[in-house]
Amino acid sequence: MDFLYFNNFYKPFLQALTIKNIYKNQLKYSNILFKILYFFSIIILIFSIIFLANCSSKNVLQFNCMYIMACLFFCSLDRKSLKRAVKLFRKKHNVKLIFPDLFDQFKYHLWKERLGSIHSSCSIDKALNYLEIELSKFNIEKHNINPSYMVILSAITIAAFWHFIDDIHFAQHIKIIIDGLICYVSYRFIFFKFFIFGGQQKKLLIFKQFLLRLKSECPSV
C-alpha cells in the first residue's frame, strides 16, 4: 500500500476546499450581467453600512432597514451563484447523483476538476485503504462534536466579541462598521460550515465520502 495513491486524491481535495478557490469558482460560471449585479450588491452593502454609521438618530430605523435589505440581497445572489455553479458542473460532468447539501455538491465537483483526469477504481481502493489507516488514529466518539454545539459555541463567541467592541470607547459610526464586518464574517463562517476551524478528522471523513462517490460514478474504470 502506497501513500502516493492517497496523496493523488487528497492534495486536489485540499486545494478545492480553499476559500479563495471557492470564491473564484462561484463566479466563474456566472455571466457578465450576474457578476456586475453581484459586485453591485457588495457596493450597496458597503454603502448601507457607511450610511448607517453616519446617520442621525431620527433616521436610524430607515437606514437599518436599508442595511437589512442589502444583506438579504447579497445573500440571495451569493446563494444563486452557488446553485448556478453546481448546475453547470453537473451538466459538464453528466452527473445525476444529488447530494443533500448544495455546498457539498460544489466542493465535490470542484475537487473532480482539480483531479484533472479519471483515476482507476484500483487507485481509489488503495487511497481508501490508506485513508482507513489515517482515520484509525482518531477516536470518533471522543473527538466528534455535535454541529449544534458548534453553532451555540459560535453564537457565544460572536456575542462576546460584540460585547467586547461595545465596551471599547469607539465612535458610534466606527462601532456600526465593525458590527457590519462581524455580520459578514459570521455569515461566511456559518456558510462554509466551520471550514476555517475544521479539524483533520472532519476533512478526512468528507474526503472518504468524496472517494466513495467518485468510485460509484466510475465503477468500471
> Is it the case that residue 84 has pLDDT exceeding 70?
yes
> Quick one: pLDDT at residue 20?
76
pLDDT score recorded for residue 85: 83
The whole-number average pLDDT for the span 198-216 is: 83
pLDDT in tens, 163-193: 776 677 777 667 767 777 777 776 666 666 5
Please, what is the Cα angle at 112 between 138 and 221, to 5 degrees?
95
Contact call for residues 189 and 196 (beta carbons, < 8 A): yes
Task: Please state, in angstroms and rounded to a whole number, the distance separating the CA atoms of residues 196 and 188.
Answer: 10
Sign for the CA dihedral angle at 144, 149, 155, 159 comes to negative
Span 4-61, pLDDT tens digits: 788 889 889 988 888 777 777 887 777 888 888 888 888 888 888 777 777 776 777 7
Q: pTM for the complete prediction? A: 0.64
Q: What pLDDT is stored for residue 220 in this prediction?
A: 55
Residue whose C-alpha is closest to residue 19's, from 105, 96, 110: 110
Averaged pLDDT of the chain: 76
Domain that holds residue 150: 3-217
Torsion angle in degrees (nearest 10) through CA of 84, 85, 90, 92: 110
- CA distance linking residue 112 with residue 116, whole number of Å: 7
**Structural domain count, the chain:** 1
